[in-house]
Amino acid sequence: MPEFTMLIRTAELAAMLSDEHCRVLDCRFHLSDPARGYEEYRTGHIPGAMYVDLDRDLAGPVTAGSGRHPLPDSLAFAALLGHRGIGHGTQVVVYDGGSGAIAARAWWMLRWLGHDRVALLDGGFARWLADARPVETGAARACGVRRFVPAEQTDRITTTAEIATAVDGGGELCLVDARDEARFRGDVEPIDPVAGHIPGARNFPLGRSLSADACWKSPGTLARAWRTVLGDRPGGPWIAMCGSGVTACHLVLSAQLAGYGEPTLYVGSWSEWIRDPARAVATGP
């Protein structure tokens, strides 16, 4: 079976669905209606796909100092993956409704635990339906439990303390925010109690990576878009962030498709940054 580590097309996934070494994770989720993703899963999903919930499975408990979606305990997440039939050598495919905004979090988290053989379905479930692929309904089928041994990659993460040190000390900080322009500027803030962005951050809304049909743009097109934000520094260090460390994972994949080096992820992101009112906030472009 070929190995996929970034994107996979519906035809490629359809060809390997029956392989026992392939596992599919359905990551559909709606912030405004947390139960809706699982309802959609039961209504119809890719055959054999197992559901994972953003709040329950892809995030840990929120604390007084954390953002809205802190990482779960690595051993707990590893156990969940094992119960989804994922072990060493498993080809994992993740998808959501279409954009990859949620599925990219699952993609990044498997890599965080040392499992690079994971790919995001280009166009998600919407593309799967548009291509007239088979659909299964109801609850997940039983699958064999495998042992998933995590190898936590702490160097993929940047902390609030590290960012605060750079901001307070006037150091160089290449921080790219995935939120849409209006939220980044501070014109509106529908989710968090404070509007704006971290001083010095740059903006690259995740929608810039996608075509009108929610499929990913070509690597060349992505490279041109990223050049306006990162310049000609394909290997330079940088950090991806968003509102709560979820859609920032979309930037991690996008930039790598464009040929840029992998950033670290600011897991706490904006919702953690503003927990302390003493931290600096900027508004405008």
Q: Catalytic positions, please?
A: 242
**Amino acid identity for residue 26 in this structure:** D
Q: What span, in angstroms and rounded, lies between the C-alpha atoms of 260 and 233?
A: 8
Q: What is the CB neighbour count within 10 angstroms for residue 275? A: 16
Q: What span, in angstroms and rounded, lies between the C-alpha atoms of 46 and 129?
A: 9
Q: Which of 83, 113, 82, 102 is nearest to 41 (CA)?
A: 102
Q: What span, in angstroms and rounded, lies between the C-alpha atoms of 203 and 175?
A: 9
Helix (H, G, I), strand (E, B) or coil at 93: strand
Q: What is the CB neighbour count within 10 angstroms for residue 44? A: 13
N residues, the chain: 285
Compute φ and ψ for 241, nearest 5 degrees. -145, 175
Q: What is the CA radius of gyration of the chain?
A: 18
Written as six digits, the tokens of 262 are 């992998």
Q: Which of 110, 127, 86 is nearest to 249 (CA)?
A: 110
Q: Which of 141, 147, 148 is nearest to 18 (CA)?
A: 141
Q: Which of 260, 272, 121 is nearest to 204 (CA)?
A: 260
Q: What span, in angstroms and rounded, lies between the C-alpha atoms of 134 and 128?
A: 8
